[in-house]
Amino acid sequence: MLLAHGGGGRMTNRLIEELFLPEFSNTVLDTRHDGAVVAAGGAKLAFTTDGFVVRPLVFPGGNIGDLAVNGTVNDLAMCGARPMYLSSALILEEGFAMATLQRIVESMRIAADRAQILLVTGDTKVVDKGKGDGVFVTTSGIGIIEHPLEITPAAVRPGDAVIVSGDLGRHGIAVLCVREGLEFESPVESDTAPLWDPVRALIEGGIHVHCLRDLTRGGLSSALNEIAASAQVGVRVREADIPVSDAVRAACEVLGLDPYYVANEGRFAAFVPRDEAERALDIMRGFEVCRGAAIAGSVTESPAGVVVLESAIGGNRVLDMLSGEQLPRIC
């Protein structure tokens, strides 16, 4: 097992396709959405689970606690579901400071309150010193779908507009800077935040949302590639229209990273019909978390499964899925 198997790029996808899907394949799992959409007693529910292993546990803009809650809330939101119930399991390492745990748990509570999701069940395990990394958090969530829209990659159509909900790369860079002890003049804060409010507003605003995807591990590139592949469409985005803050751009330049591959924890891509795109953008921009939203591109019929990036100087290139992890370069 290599670290890249958990990187959210090509290696992760291969693991899913070659090991997990053959074992568990079913109609729900095979949609490969951020969460599963299931029927239960006449209701349409979304169900999702996620593990969090971030290091450092506390970073500018958040900690593993609010990250875990927001991550699951957002996976539900990407299914168009109102987050309702949350479970969490903590795997703690012997010797872990009680005060840090207190802080993490408090952050989880504040994040859950903010997203109006109720933590209704949990589990705690402690492992020997050296067998964990402080604390690992897993969360699962249930949400309810209260509208008739089918928000799934299969609903994406050529001509759809691709809206990016805000500036990219904050979370990945914030964590990297703390982890590596890199200091920049303007510190970058994680964008971790719940996304249900803008999604609900889009749906209630009558936007025929075709697909939503949060831009977590593997960043914008992985999200667009996954959707292009499963919807068998092309996606074309314009570099000049993809929002990235100067601080993140500068950090990426220095470190030799590409912001389109860097993880976000409070950003998503929305695929909406072209003629509703401007209105969708207005709705989204009404929320602080989406203030920087922009129409970054559109869906094309071909080349199927390929994401093309139009560079700022007018050249074209493929925006491929990440192979392995992004590594800082020599010079």
Partner 1 sequence: MKYIDEYRDPARVRAAAESIRRRVTRPWTIMEVCGGQTHTIVKTGLQDLLPPEVTLVHGPGCPVCVTPVELIDKAVAIALHSGVIFTSFGDMLRVPGSSKSLFDAKADGADVRIVYSPLDALKLARNNPDREVVFFAVGFETTAPANAMVVWQAEREGLTNFSVLVAHVLVPPALEAVLNSPDCRVNGFIAAGHVCTVMGWREYEPIAKKYGVPIVVTGFEPVDLLEGIDMLIAQLESGRAEVGNQYRRAVRRDGNRPAQERIAEVFEISDRAWRGIGEIPASGLRLRERYRAWDAGTKFAVDVHGVRESEECIAGMVLQGLKRPAECPAFGTRCTPETPLGAPMVSSEGACAAYYLYGKRVQTDVPAASSEQ
Tokens 């993490």 correspond to 104
Print the SS3 string covering 14-78: HHHHHHHHHHHCCCCHHHCCCCEEEEECCEEEEEEEEEECCCCCEECCEEHHHHHHHHHHHHHHH
Window 227-246: contact mask with partner 1 (x via CB under 8 A): ---------x---------x
The maximal CA–CA distance of the chain, rounded, in angstroms, is 59
Q: Looking at 41, 42, 130, 315, which residue binds partner 1 (CB under 8 A)?
A: 315
> For 131, which DSSP code?
S
Look up residue 254 and give its two tokens. 């220095």
The pattern of x and - marking residues 285 through 314 that bind partner 1 according to CB under 8 A reads: ---------------x-xx--x-x-xxxxx
Residue 274 within binding range of partner 1, rule CB under 8 A: no
Shortest separation between residue 75's beta carbon and partner 1, angstroms: 26
Count of CB atoms within 10 A of residue 65's CB?
Answer: 28
Among 7, 8, 11, 67, binds partner 1 (CB under 8 A): 11
CA count, 13 A, side-chain hemisphere, 163: 30
Whether residue 48 contacts residue 149, with contact meaning beta carbons closer than 8 Å, is answered with no
- What is the secondary structure of 215-235 as a DSSP string? --TTHHHHHHHHHHHHHT-EE
R_g of the chain computed on alpha carbons: 19
Touching partner 1, residues 251-270 (CB under 8 A): 253, 255-256
Per-position x/- string for 96-135, each x denoting binding to partner 1 as judged by CB under 8 A, each - no binding: ----------------------------------------
Least separation in angstroms between CB 304 and partner 1: 9
Residue 17 or 282 with smaller CB distance to partner 1: 17
Closer residue to partner 1 (CB): 4 or 173: 4
Instruction: List interacting residues with partner 1 (CB under 8 A).
Output: 1-4, 10-11, 14, 180, 182, 236, 246, 249-250, 253, 255-256, 300, 302-303, 306, 308, 310-320, 323-324, 327-331
